[in-house]
Amino acid sequence: MDIVVSFLALVVHAPLLLLVAIAVKLDSPGPVLFRQRRIGLHGHTFELLKFRTMHHHPPDGGRLHQACPHDPRVTRVGALLRHTSFDELPQLWHVLRGEMSLVGPRPHAPGTCAGATPFEQVTERYQQRHQVRPGITGLAQVRGWRGQTDTVEKLLHRLDSDLEYIASWSLWLDCVILARTVATVLRMRNAY
């Protein structure tokens, strides 16, 4: 299902992907795609692609700062892409390559923190989410736990949903999550 759906989605969305790439390039200097290491299946890292939504600055090697509401780093086009979740469309390529799945726990960047605590240090259960491929969407996202994870509590809610998904996986559950994702994206909740 992942391969067929991601391939068809890339073909169908090719004109939109081209228009978004042009809009990003015209809006601000820098690359069209944002690349960041993320943790995947069994803890292996891969380079995730998204449309760039922030002003381009070379990495400073410091702590990762997640985007927040009214973040001044976000460009005009980037705000629209984040609001509609179109910035995520290049991740279909990762699904086609087998690095991600359509549904699963969202891949996090190494070193991301909840408050001042790195995700992997919040609880020993955190590593269990790497038993499956990360997804473009997941149970946590359709339950409203998408967006900034600035507190340990938010991370734990997301983690509980991720682990519940892994424990109760079925093709039907994936279909339900995909359908709910469409509704969630249309409501544009927790996207900034």
Sign, Cα dihedral of 147, 152, 157, 163: positive
- What is the distance between the alpha carbons of residues 79 and 126, in angstroms, rounded to a whole number? 30
CA distance 84 to 87: 8
Length of the chain: 192
25: containing domain? 2-187
Closest CA to 99 of 66, 136, 125, 64: 136
50 within a domain of the structure (yes/no): yes
Residue-by-residue pLDDT tens, the chain, 192 positions: 999 999 999 999 999 999 999 999 999 999 999 999 999 999 999 999 999 998 887 555 555 566 666 778 889 999 999 888 899 999 999 999 999 999 999 999 998 888 889 999 999 999 999 999 999 999 999 998 887 788 899 999 999 999 999 999 999 999 999 999 988 777 765 454
pLDDT of res. 144 = 87
Residue 80 included in any domain: yes
Answer whether residue 192 is part of any domain.
no
- Is residue 178 situated within a structural domain? yes
pLDDT at position 95 is 97
How far apart CA 133 and CA 101 sit, in angstroms, is: 6
Residue 107 lies in a domain: yes
Q: Is residue 118 part of a domain?
A: yes
Dihedral angle, C-alpha 19, 20, 22, 28, nearest 10 °: 160
First-residue to last-residue Cα distance in the chain: 29
Looking at the domain assignment, is residue 33 inside a domain?
Answer: yes
Domains held by the chain: number:
1
Position 71 in a domain: yes
The C-alpha torsion from 135 through 122 and 153 to 94, rounded to 10°, is: -10
